Amino acid sequence: MSTRVVVDPVTRIEGHLRVEAILDDHNVIGDAISSGTMWRGIEVILQGRDPRDAWAFCERICGVCTTVHALASVRAVENAVGITIPKNAEIIRNIMALTQYVQDHVIHFYHLHALDWVDIVSALKADPAATAGLAQKVSPSWPTSSPGYFSDIKNTIKKFVDSGQLGIFQNAYWGHPAYKLPPEANLMAVAHYLEALKWQKEVIKIHTIFGGKNPHPHYLVGGVACAINMQGDNAINMERLEYVRDLIKGAQQIVEGLYVPDLMAIASFYPEWTTYGGGIGNYMAYGDIPQNGINDPSHFRFPRGIILNKNLSEVLPVDLADANQIQEQVDHSWYKYPNGKKALHPWEGVTDPDYTGPQPPYAQLDEKATYSFVKAPRWKGHAMEVGPLARLLVGFASGRTDIKDVVVDALGKLKLTPAALFSTLGRTAARGLETKLAAGWLLEEYDRLIANLKAGDTVTADTKFWDPKTWPADCKGFGPEEAPRGALGHWIHIKDEKIANYQIVVPSTWNASPKDGQGQRGAYEAALIGTPMADPKRPVEILRTIHSFDPCLACATHVTSPDGETLAEVVVR
């Protein structure tokens, strides 16, 4: 007799996600469905607007991975009309993107995912002196690791528990048999959770310096919105640039002194999780952090490519403009395509919601029917996983020594083979290793910027194609990016100076996709299969695998006219 476990909503993510897992008689997941339960209609809002404004709308799809949609959007417009941005603009965009990686990944590990492995209440049993000894061994370069410090943290947790109001630690599965960390490791992790919470608001000041604010820093078609005057007071000067360097050094300290050591320590207690969560085994990266312009993927810090069936001996090319490569299907999605179309390339894409699911609230969805507001993108018909693991695997298979070095070092310390990467724990580890790379690259990009400025180049934008009258009357473009959560693509069709069509395929569209017309599962669904559950009523195992992807389901949108009149509204309760 099979059992269906429903997790709705999945918490500690952005957006609204429902997961249903079907267990066999041994409480092992045999099938699963992933349902995005709210509609993103930003594509509808953008039609008819000025392409130069698109980034400001797109950026507000999400406030968690802020900046990424703005960058993909301006790249799409620039690709369509033929703009090449100045070198300083490329470097500053790289700095902002890498800053987002570091901040977002640290937040994910400590504040969204660690609680799947760390038992907060167990920390009350910890000996502060023993915890200090453990912390000094795990993170020897981190300054706050005294017995008194951990005693204070323990008292703080006790006040939470005694009050009956656990606040941010409420409604978890404390005491679950799947938790394996000793009390001292749990206390150390909680302390570092709180430290990372304080730190993350500092590093994003880099976005404020170069983009004016965070969240949602400013961007510009043709470059970046900030001006540089090394001796001035009303632009980015040497004082502000030195401050950026200090923030980058601080980011390196928390990544190398806290995040990666904690990740390695926690992973050592859960070796079985290198055998669960492997999923579909197909990985895709668009590549990013250009060194010679966005049109030269051969000089990206993150390589571009495809890996099929876990075959690390071959990296296949991906072409975002090829209508036969990337297509979106809606066989199991709450959308309709015109003229019976089954799959569309984003340039021809349609965002026409068609909710045919059960009337909420409902006990379960029908996996044989339509069951998600997420479409099903495919590469040459293949379901793909995107994200940090995909990026590291493509880099590893491409022979990139900087990427291979961090991967081989981590596997050696954990006494694992590369096959362990194809798992829930491998996905979690990949994000930490990528953060170490990103923090190092941040300083290298900063040094590139300073060297260019010292050479006398202070140009940050090229506006010769700013006037739409200089554009082709009808043109198409695409903006690729590697957002923290994976391959992100914006496709734009510009006609008569306005947006004729705009389609966005976000990382979680790839990973959270429902089944396609051929019955292929998306990455979330496939990764859950084969996972044993200790207690189906407390499905922490489901959260471990789903959170390892760092889901970001974009929020619902109400479409309004310029006068505020509601034109369309989709409500799912």
Which residues are annotated as catalytic?
A: 14, 62, 65, 69, 485, 508, 552, 555
Structure tokens at 236: 């980015």
Structure tokens at 558: 């109400």
Say if CB 512 and CB 553 are below 8 A apart: yes
Within 8 A by CB and 6+ apart from 126, the residues are: 150, 154, 182, 183, 184, 186, 187
Closest CA to 492 of 507, 477, 510: 477
Say if CB 301 and CB 441 are below 8 A apart: yes
Residue 19's Cβ-count burial label (10 Å; 0-12, 13-18, 19+) is: buried
What is the Cα–Cα distance from 36 to 374, expressed in whole angstroms? 6
Structure tokens at 298: 């051969």
What is the Cα–Cα distance from 429 to 411, expressed in whole angstroms? 10
Instruction: Identify the helix (H) or strand (E) that includes residue 478.
Output: strand 474-483
The answer to whether the bond into 361 is cis (omega within 30° of 0) is: yes
What is the Cα–Cα distance from 271 to 266, expressed in whole angstroms? 10
Closest CA to 262 of 100, 429, 476, 503: 429
Number of Cβ within a 10 Å radius of residue 468 = 15
Sheet order of strands, 474-483 included: 474-483, 486-495, 498-505
Instruction: Identify the helix (H) or strand (E) that includes residue 267.
Output: helix 260-267
Structure tokens at 459: 């140009």
Task: Report angle CA 356, 358, 362 to the nearest 5 degrees.
Answer: 155
What is the Cα–Cα distance from 38 to 52, expressed in whole angstroms? 28
- Torsion from C-alpha of 361, 172, 262, 389, nearest 10 degrees: -20
Structure tokens at 539: 């499905």
Structure tokens at 523: 């990455």
Q: What is the DSSP-derived secondary structure letter of residue 303?
A: -
Q: Up-side HSE of residue 538: CA atoms within 13 Å toward CB?
A: 12
Say if CB 286 and CB 481 are below 8 A apart: yes
What is the Cα–Cα distance from 143 to 316, expressed in whole angstroms? 45
